[in-house]
A and B are shown apart, each in its own frame.
Chain A
């Protein structure tokens, strides 16, 4: 069933993508950062977004996390509209209640970690499960300790973020997001603020998630090698749209578009 503007009220069928951007447009005042973005991400798929700064990469994640409102189009998560809700057979802009229902499927890690400074690593992880999901303290503690174990931070569970290094904070932030059991995880330049020697400890955690869990992941990164290693698909953003996308071996090995070639060679020179 279609909305009057031509958007489906929900996406059904066996190949329903986990995330679907349909003709999404976003501008800040006169500046259009994304024009007519169409992007489907399958369940369990790991998609990396690369591109020059200002190409709208981060905005894609922020819109999906509902930190930014979109100006046009619809975003679907697990077949259901996220940015909109059905009302009398048409899609209207989502209210806070609808957003809270749909947002539960999505988790996000930020460039600057954004851990709560007044809580320990464990409390950071327990906060969402206890307050938002209504888990008992004991359940939330078990779940959080398991995840802190996964990210290798269990020995620091009672430390405040100010006592942790950047890499350690980011690993706690990953555990905190996972504690909400999202279907989709978003990684927004999670290694950009880190010292080179600790980047590995964060990327290793993400590698582990890719190989051992069936999470759908969307990652914005400047680390081409990492993106090449772990992604199922890489999207190169340029000027507010996807200039080129494909499996990492193809996109990195044999880029078709001139802009992609220029960007990749510029990045290689910088290394």
Chain B
């Protein structure tokens, strides 16, 4: 039943490791986009401009209620109809970055709302500008609350990078699938991908928890 071939494993390992690099790059770049854009979305919903708040909130809801796969297809295949011809990598990063930005914006929002009103009032009493209030008082206190959610989505984005294989990004699943089709052997490549994902996710989750604790202590909370 099982005829696991170690020499095949060693043969395909270099290709899988290159693909692992791509997976990490995709997850890292997507997450970086999501971190920044998510904060923009979260803050945009807290401005006094009702129309802006409404548009951003509806957009976030829309993205969160539709599948990531659909969004990837949309950017890659429908984009060109509007003259937006993007490479698989670029489309993938836009789609996955936007998708997770919407989730992260909710995490940030929760963090910001967890800061007591008295902190805003103390900042006003010190005559701070709105930027100073966020930068010096609110965001430093929102981060510890937001961190666990942010960590979850880091692992989440890593596990969602295989979706990019459908538009031809050479990440792990894509490469494993190609290897399988070339050699008519799927057992080793697919199993290896599983092990590689596990080997990244588990330590990542542990590191995030460690980091969370350190930040909390550093902020004295």
Residue ranges of A at the interface with B (Cβ–Cβ < 8 Å): 65-67, 96, 100, 103-104, 106-108, 110, 112, 114-118, 127-128, 131-132, 160-162, 176-177, 180
Contact = CB atoms under 8 A, between A and B. Distances in A.
Contacts of A103: 124, 127
Contact of B136 (A96, A106, A108, A127): A127
Given A127-B136, A131-B132, A132-B132, A118 B126 contact: no
Contacts of B219: 117-118
Question: Which 3 pairs between the two chains have the least Cβ-Cβ distance?
Answer: A114-B122, A160-B220, A128-B126
B126 to A, nearest CB: 4
A161 B116 CA distance: 15
A118 B128 contact: no
A106 B126 CA distance: 9
Interface in B95-143: 116, 118-119, 121-122, 124-130, 132, 136-137, 140-141
Contacts of B127: 100, 103-104, 128, 132, 180
A116 B119 CA distance: 7
A118 B137 CA distance: 8
A127 B126 contact: yes
A100 B119 contact: no
Given A117-B141, A127-B136, A180 B124 contact: no
Interface residues of B, number: 20
Contact of A65 (B116, B125, B137, B140): B125
B221 interface: yes
B124 A176 contact: no
A65 B127 CA distance: 10
A210 B146 CA distance: 44
User: SS class of chain B's interface: helix, strand, loop or mixed?
Assistant: helix
A199 to B, nearest CB: 20
A128 B124 CA distance: 10
A180 B118 contact: no
Interface string B28-67: 0000000000000000000000000000000000000000
B124 A118 contact: no
Nearest to A104: B127
Nearest to B218: A118
Contacts of A131: 126, 128, 132, 136
Given A117-B221, A127-B136, A131-B136, A177 B125 contact: yes
Given A110-B118, A162-B220, A116 B125 contact: no
Contacts of B122: 110, 114-116
Contacts of A108: 125
A103 B121 CA distance: 13
B125 A118 contact: no
Nearest to A124: B122
Given A118-B140, A131-B126, 10 more contacts: A100-B129, A110-B118, A110-B121, A112-B118, A114-B118, A114-B121, A128-B126, A128-B128, A162-B221, A180-B126
B132 A118 contact: no
A116 B137 contact: yes
Q: Which of B124, B219, B221 has the most CB of A within 10 A?
A: B124
Contacts of B141: 116-118
Contacts of B125: 65, 67, 106-108, 110, 177
Contact of B221 (A96, A118, A180): A118
Nearest to B140: A118
B182 to A, nearest CB: 55
Given A118-B141, A118-B221, A132 B128 contact: yes
Contacts of B121: 65, 67, 110, 114
A116 B141 CA distance: 9
Nearest to B136: A131
28 contacts: A65-B121, A65-B124, A65-B125, A66-B124, A67-B121, A67-B124, A67-B125, A103-B124, A108-B125, A110-B122, A112-B118, A114-B118, A115-B122, A117-B141, A117-B220, A118-B140, A118-B141, A118-B221, A127-B126, A128-B128, A131-B126, A131-B128, A131-B132, A131-B136, A132-B126, A132-B127, A161-B220, A162-B220
Contacts of B136: 116, 127, 131
A20 B37 CA distance: 46
Interface string B190-221: 00000000000000000000000000000111
